[in-house]
Structure 1
Amino acid sequence: MASVVVALSCAVAVGAAGCTGDDRDGFRPGAADVGDPYVPGHGNGGYDVKNYKLDVRYDPATDRLTGRATITATTTQDLSRFDLDLAGLEVGAVTVDGTRARHRRDDRELVVTPTDGLPRGRPFTVVVDYAGVPTAVTDGELGSGGFLHTADGAVALGQPDSAATWFPVNDHPSDKASYELAVTVPDGISALSNGVPGPTSSADGWTTWRWSERTPMASYLSTLVIGDYRVVTSRHAGQPMVTAVAASLPVNGGAARSLARTGAIVDFLATRFGPYPFESYGGIVVADDRIRYALETQSRPVYGPAFFANDQPNSGVVAHELAHQWFGDSVSLSRWGDIWLNEGFATYAEWLWEEHDGGRTAQRTFELQYAATDWSQPSVEPGRERMFGTAVYKRGALAVHALRRTVGDDTFFRILRTWTTERAAGSATTPDFVALAERVAGRQLRPLFDAWLVGGAAPTLP
């Protein structure tokens, strides 16, 4: 009978002493892990984020960041408590709908218990004040990432790990949200991020830069680049374009010349994939050698310096990251095991761009890559240690071209444009793509995808 008495007490006063733990009159905690085996501990359940409003201040001299995150979300269950992902930083105060909430840390989890349970379907706002020295991710699948202190500022970047190193977040691409960012840094350096630039303002030796990404964005696609950059702001197709190159890199060098082709490459890709899905364009080239990759950070990809070695231009990597704006950013992953949906199509876009730019044809690239492929490695569910392996990129692109060869150009590009239109601003899986391709083509295609994506032997050429 004791358990019945406790339950009745909690029903009378949800949130009273002794009633702020787990189940409370049908209210229960949200999951502390979204359940994706490629990123254990990432993501949370019980709510769907609509918007992140981030107000941060960063001092490169001390490497200290202070921030306030205002997170607007809607519950997806009767919620007694919920988690946010946050690595390393200290939390001061947390409120839910303006009322102080209990909070505690559990490794990289921030566990928040509101005074009252939150009914399913209810919008709510949580405000988190936090501060500290942000941490890097030195063992990430791509290499160094997270929040990296640099000689002149910082770079927040990485896949799949980065966002939780500098703000509290539901850190999985299946929960996308819009973003507003105000970042305050010392006068004389830039603070660059995603989306449309807003007005800057200065006071007492500090400048606040403002950015807004209104189209839903996966958390790993957020970025913050602070330092000495040559920033060029222009317009393309009526929308803002912001490109930036680290000031330590050559003026009008290979990096700058490559970024200058952003508009032309986007326009070409739009003829193949459909209208560009965001409200701004651009790219950023950093000078930190720890960043040995390029990443499709939404609307403004970030490129490591090695892509422009010996000061040579590289429009291929620009085409790859810009293709991700459709495949990966607008249409995101529901689970990381389907990452070929991002990388296979972006790699294929490189083949298309090379052909368009007067180089080798996509068919010839397909033939060469087919002969060089290790067919024992699958593109779908490659395993966490191979999620950025050649099977994901190159074998994935082979499957895309095999689809094209099978259904013909008209149907193939109609499949791609239907995918980017119907799934825009959402998340999807491999079965979703196969089903859509079969619907548009009006024929069965699953055996084709099975052979080219997961079969253990070289498939028959179509």
Structure 2
Amino acid sequence: MRFSAPVLAFTVPFLMGGCTTAGPADTARSIAPILTTEQARDEFTYAQPTEARVTHVALDLDLDFEARRVQGTATLDVTAAPGADEIVLDSNGLLIGGITDGRGNALGYTIGESVPDKGEPIIVELGDSGGASSRKIVISYASGPDAPALQWLDPEQTAGGEYPFVFSQGQAILNRSWIPTQDSPGIRQTWEARITAPRPLTVVMSGIRQGQPTDVGGGRRAFEFAMDNNIPPYLIAVAAGNLEFADLGPRSGVWAEPEVLPAARQELGDTEQLIEAGESLFGDYRWGRYDMIVLPPSFPYGGMENPTLTFLTPTFIAGDRSNNGLIAHELAHSWSGNLTTYATWRDGWLNEGVTSYIESRITEEVYGKPRAEQEYALSYAALANAVEENGADNPNTAMRSPAAISPFDTVGEAIYDKGTVFLRTVENIVGRERFDAWLTQWFDAHAFQPVTSEMFLADMRANLIDGDSDLEDRLMLDEWVYGTGIPSNAWQPEATAFAAVDDAVAAYARAGTLPATRTWEGWTAAEQRRFLEELPEDLDDTDLAAMDRQLGLSRSGNNEVLFLWLQAALRNEYDPAVPQAEAFLARVGRNKFVEPLFRALWATGDWGRPVATRIYARTRGGYHSFTRGRVDAVLGYEGAGG
């Protein structure tokens, strides 16, 4: 299907202008548009933003580590259409104490029925506005027990073992469990916050810190932050613990527990180079600072691109910067995902696929073309494997997800890897210089705005293809975005990217010949991963013992490599790997590693299921709610979802 005309975003008229609100600097803020096309409809919010929408959130909250909740107030700036008498907010278990207008007058509200995952609506009466379209509402509230966005850690779950820790994870739709707002990526908002925590804990957030912390009595300190760029609400993030900071450059640094900070600082030493590479390719970095925080191991993802403060798993630390593609990826979100953001979860590739492509370009600039080509080959192989496993006609292999799919249930390879291959294909058909110019103007034209696949393709047709029917046919745009499987014009990885490794794989498959120890140790982490990913599925104890002895797999300091070794060992019921797998699953909470290892154990039946059950009973409490939910489903855990 082709769009004969570039039908873009419709902006509701009452939302087009700017407004002045009492923010951190009392400055005028522009209001990001609301998209009203069918493609921009978000099924996972209760909000009705064409009637009334949140434009700014001001939080004044206390972190209560004993009760494991946040409590305080959220003041929302609301813009409403003429005649609108209510606003609908998203909640997931929030405990509401009362709601008033900006003058302290009580406002009526009702809380609707809760739907699993989605939560419940809060319908707030707006009261008499005196004809003004802008107004404020103040919500007194606390997060409910076990709010899924918040991970509260006991001291023994941290590196130091002395102080508690908390962090939030808002994507996809979890922030509604600690912030009462319209929790949809298409409803961009500015925000500010004042957060108190007990001494000596330090609070950090995904905004610019305002001044120094202040003593508020009772052994507590207050920290203030502001974000004056319109962002999707899932990017509001907080963390607090025994944290120290190290500079990495004039606009970058890293937070971590003191025990982790030296290794984190060393691993992240290329950060300024990565930022400069991104700017040289796709325009200015527009967020002021690029800081990071290395969280305790229970963080469920590799990284989360919270503006000004990327959240990172400690599992990326390898001692040789071999996993710094993760940093390039999270940084790349500063252009794709944070600057331009999908309006709905169905367009996940607009964030992750575009970002993965930019990651590869930044990697090439800083680490060289061979490393970038190897990582592209791994990405292509992951996509091909996913299509084979799911079926080439499976709708979940389309980049634009089916309308009914949950944002938690998408096929990652269709969003990350297929998006990467798509843009690499376009780049090689039209030429890098021409493609870079187009992609840069896309970011400039839609900065701090929600976008859809429809808009992306329309812009590409208008500003890149420009009426060239032959180029249109060669690019196969609609087949890439809306079709399943891998289109026939996909750009293939360089055949030489893993030539030596693929020869070694063939030698092992043919005669059981392993690479020499010196050869293995000279390979890059990507080459080691390629070898392990291409191994035969079925290996016996003799094979696995020889492999570990010669390649030192169980001693690897790279968690990506160690994970692949454990996965192969467990699926083949290799008893010597069980203690190491148990230790690994006890110290790592990253779902990329945790869920597949439990799947491998469970799939073996009688051998692995008792092992999985025993390990999970010990480790489940330390995992994030997202990881618990995924593994609960694999193991049929009694009380799943708790």
Same fold by TM-score greater than 0.5: yes
- Where in structure 2 are the equivalents of 1:151-190 lying within 5 Å? 151=154, 152-190=164-202
Separation (CA, whole Å) in 2 of partners of 1:110 and 1:372? 42
Structure 1 equivalent of residue 330 of structure 2? 321
Residue 193 of structure 1 pairs with residue 205 of structure 2: yes
Separation in structure 1 between the aligned mates of residue 259 and residue 424 of structure 2, nearest angstrom? 40
Matched, 1:262 2:262: no
Query: Could you tell me how far apart the structure 2 residues matched to 1:36 and 1:275 are?
Result: 27
Residues of 1 paired with 2:427 and 2:209: CA distance?
Answer: 38
Question: Does the alignment pair 1:337 with 2:357?
Answer: no
* Cα deviation 1:126-160 (Å, max 9, x = unaligned): 111112555332xxxxxxxx011112121111311
CA-based RMSD of the aligned residues comes to 2.7
Match of residue 48 from structure 1? 53
Cα distance in 1 between the residues matched to 2:320 and 2:377: 30
Q: Deviations over 1:200-237 (max 9, x none)?
A: 2113211111111110111111100011112236763x
Q: Match for residue 451 of structure 2? A: 428
Which whole-Å deviations, capped at 9, do the CAs of 1:34-82 have from their partners, x for residues lacking one?
9988753454432232211111111223323221111112113521222
Identical counterparts, % of pairs: 22
Partner of 1:230 in structure 2? 244
* Greater per-residue helix proportion: 2
Q: Does 1:101 align with 2:101?
A: no
C-alpha displacement of 1:456: 3.6
**1:398 touches 1:452 (CA, 8 Å); kept in 2?**
no
SS of the counterpart of 2:416?
Answer: helix
Paired residues of 2:39 and 2:452 also in contact (CA < 8 A): no
Is 1:380 aligned to residue 384 of structure 2?
Answer: no
Q: How far 1:353 sits from its partner (Å)?
A: 2.8
Structure-2 separation of matches of 1:312 and 1:409: 27
- 1:285-322 CA-partner distances (Å, limit 9, x unpaired): 10132523311112211112223368966311011011
State how far apart, in whole Å, the 1-side matches of 2:44 and 2:378 are: 37
The AA in structure 2 aligned to 1:305 is P
What is the aligned counterpart of 1:274 among 248, 258, 283? 283
1:113 to 125, 129, 137: 125
- Residue 65 (structure 1) aligned with residue 70 (structure 2): yes
Provide closer, same or farther for how the CA distance between residues 459 and 451 of structure 1 changes in structure 2, counting only shifts above 3 A.
farther
Tell me the equivalent position of 2:585: none
Question: What is the number of residues matched between the two proteins?
Answer: 415
Change (3 A) 1:115 1:370: closer
Match of 2:308 in 1: 299
Counterpart CA distance in 1 for 2:70 and 2:381 is 50
CA distance in 1, matches of 2:316, 2:243: 18
Shift of 1:324: 0.7
Deviations 1:147-186 (A, max 9, x none): 1111212111131123212121110011111111110001
| Unpaired runs of at least 5, structure 2 | 1-37, 115-119, 155-163, 492-642
Q: How far did 1:278 drift?
A: 1.4
Equivalent residue for 1:460?
489
Q: Among residues 148, 152, 159, which one is paired with 1:149 in the alignment?
A: 152
1:332 to 1:76, Cα distance in 2 relative to 1, 3 A: farther
Secondary structure of 1:82 counterpart? strand
Task: Mark the CA change 1:366 to 1:233 in structure 2 (over 3 Å): closer, same or farther.
Answer: closer
Q: Whole-Å Cα distance in 1 between the matches of residues 290 and 486 of structure 2?
A: 41
Report the alpha carbon displacement of residue 395 of structure 1 after superposing the two structures with TM: 0.8
1:369-428 superposed Cα distances (whole Å, 9 cap, x missing partner): 446533522112154354251111011100011110111111100111101100001011
Q: For 1:373 and 1:313, how far apart are their aligned partners in 2?
A: 22
Single out whichever of 154-163 and 290-299 deviates more from structure 2. 290-299
Q: Which amino acid aligns with 2:202?
A: S
Determine the structure 1 residue equivalent to 2:223. 209
Moved more, 182-191 or 88-97: 88-97
Deviation string, structure 1 residues 314-367 (Cα, Å, up to 9, x no partner): 311011011111101110111111110111122112322332213526456545
SS at match of 1:317: helix
Distance in 1 (CA, whole Å) between partners of 2:39 and 2:231 is 20
Q: Identify which of 390, 412, 430 aligns with 2:413.
A: 390
Q: Partners in 2 of 1:366 and 1:313 — Cα distance?
A: 15
Give the direction of change, closer, same or farther, for the CA distance of 1:423–1:299 in structure 2 (3 Å limit): same
How many angstroms apart in 2 are the aligned matches of 1:195 and 1:292?
20
**What CA distance in whole angstroms lies between the structure 2 residues aligned with 1:161 and 1:432?**
23
CA distance in 1, matches of 2:48, 2:306: 22
Q: Which runs of 5+ in 1 are unaligned?
A: 1-33, 138-145
1: CA distance, partners of 2:454 / 2:347: 10
User: SS of the residue aligned with 2:329?
Assistant: helix
- CA distance in structure 1 between the partners assigned to 2:486 and 2:435 by the alignment: 24
Instruction: Determine the C-alpha separation between the residues in 1 that align with 2:110 and 2:381.
Output: 55
Is the aligned partner of 1:131 residue 2:179? no
Q: Check whether the contact 2:281–2:436 (CA below 8 A) recurs between aligned residues.
A: yes
**How far apart are the structure 1 equivalents of 2:344 and 2:256?**
33
CA distance in 2, matches of 1:35, 1:41: 14
Contact 1:272 1:413 in 2 (8 A): yes
Instruction: Please give the per-residue CA displacement for 1:98-130, whole angstroms capped at 9, x wherever unaligned.
Output: 2210123223322211333786x7011111111
For the residues of structure 2 that align with 1:346 and 1:226, how far apart are their CA atoms?
Answer: 28
Deviates more, 1:365-374 or 1:351-360: 365-374
208-217 or 151-160, larger mean C-alpha shift: 151-160
Tell me which protein shows more strand as a share of its residues.
Answer: 1
Counterpart of 1:414, as a letter, is A
Deviates more, 1:324-333 or 1:258-267: 258-267
Give runs of aligned pairs for residues 361-372 of structure 1, distance below 5 A.
362=372, 365-366=375-376, 369-370=379-380
Aligned equivalent of 2:294: 285
| Distance in 2 between residues matched to 1:80 and 1:310, nearest whole Å | 58
Amino acid at match of 1:109: P
Partner of 1:220: 234
> Which stretch shows the higher mean deviation, 425-434 or 79-88?
79-88
CA gap of 1:359–1:287, structure 2 versus 1, over 3 A, is farther
Aligned counterparts of 1:210 and 1:194: Cα–Cα separation in 2: 11
**Which one is further off, 153-162 or 221-230?**
153-162
Deviation at 1:96, TM superposition (A): 2.2
Q: Is the 8 A contact 1:150 1:288 kept in 2?
A: no
Task: Tell me which amino acid in the other structure corresponds to 2:317.
Answer: F
Structure 1 range deviating more: 57-66 or 359-368: 359-368
Q: How has the CA–CA distance of structure 1 residues 312 and 319 changed in structure 2, closer, same or farther, with 3 Å as cutoff?
A: closer
Task: Give the Cα separation in 1 of the matches to 2:241 and 2:44.
Answer: 33
